[in-house]
Amino acid sequence: MQTLYTSFIDALWDSIAIIPFLFLIFFVIEALEHYYSDKILTWAKFSKNSGPALGAILAAIPQCGLSVIASTLYCKRIITKGTLIAVYLATSDEAIPVLISNPKGYKIALTLILIKIGVGLAAGYLIDAIMPPSLPDVISDSDIEIEKGCHSHNISAKNKRGVLKELFLHPVIHTLSVAFFVFLVTFLINLLFAYFAENPLLFVNFAFLGNKVLQPVYTALFGIIPNCAVSVGLTIMYIKGAISFASCVSGLCAGAGLGILVLIKKNEDKKDTMQIILLLLVISIIAGYLTAIF
């Protein structure tokens, strides 16, 4: 009973402590996303050769919308497959805010961002070189119908009504949801560590992630699940020492946010969708192993 109480209190304080930092980060991100989403659409119209590079760099900015936008544009065949994969691989989702807000994790955030951008760039251009794209010469605004992001968030900045709701309410909702996920994952990990404190090897085997050889595969399979809680879970597991940095890279590269759901829903070519998901998974696993080597 004491272990349960201690694990709960520790997790509660850890999650409460990061709330101010999370809100500040999400507020800044929300402002950028709100005022620059139209510019992202403009970029999409004119970025053919530069698509993977711009996609990877923009996706590295922690936000919930770019993978959704990229999936929508790809389903209209407005951007290339390489650009889409680059965006997926570089998407940070909730990982970077959680790392930055945690005293034990903020130093590694820049390294993670650079690795994900590098993987996205390399994979994106390689895919476009192997599978040359065919894009329309002229793209109109009517061709683009953007899905909503997480928490039914309106990604497009064309509708300026409800600015206060978008700039303040959404960051609050996002902050509280991420803080809840941090609390839940931290609480469970604390319980496991406390329960298996006398036999750490038993904990490692129980968590199945103790197999260092297969760990990047496990985390990639976990990371590809399109849910905000997944990136939070992987990040907290790394901070707590349950997985290696290389395995964290593998899982977070596979984590494309809600973009995967939009792709499954909107892409009429189901074989193409499965190919993209498989490519994302394989590249993420390779990225994990390469990180472990270097």
The per-residue pLDDT for range 18-54, each reduced to its tens digit, is 688 767 767 776 776 666 555 555 555 555 678 889 8
CA dihedral 251, 254, 259, 261 (to 10 degrees): -80
**Average pLDDT for residues 87-96, to the nearest whole number?**
85
Nearest Cα to 69, choosing from 50, 94, 96, 43?
43
Q: Is 267:133 a contact under the CB 8 Å cutoff? A: no
Measured over the CA atoms of residue 63, residue 69, residue 75 and residue 78, the dihedral's sign is negative
Separation between Cα atoms, residue 69 and residue 51, nearest integer Å = 13
Q: What is the pLDDT of residue 20?
A: 80
Q: What is the pLDDT of residue 171?
A: 78
Task: Please identify which residue in the block is written with the tokens 């993209």.
Answer: 276
143 pLDDT higher than 50? no
138 pLDDT higher than 50? no
Q: Is 273:231 a contact under the CB 8 Å cutoff? A: no
Q: What is the pLDDT of residue 177?
A: 79
Residue 141 binned pLDDT confidence (cut-offs 50, 70, 90): very low
| Choice between 111 and 40, residue whose per-residue pLDDT is larger | 111
What DSSP character marks residue 199? -
Give the lowest-confidence range in 23-37, 45-59, 169-183, 247-261.
Answer: 23-37
In angstroms, how far is the first alpha carbon of the chain from the final one? 44
How far is CA 154 from each of CA 4, 38, 163, rounded to the nearest angstrom? 40, 12, 11
| Choice between 205 and 233, residue whose per-residue pLDDT is larger | 233
Nearest Cα to 207, choosing from 254, 236, 242?
242
Global pTM? 0.74
Q: Which residues of 257-285 are buried (b: 16+ CB within 10 A; e: fewer)?
A: bbbbbbbeeebeeeeebeebbebbbebbb
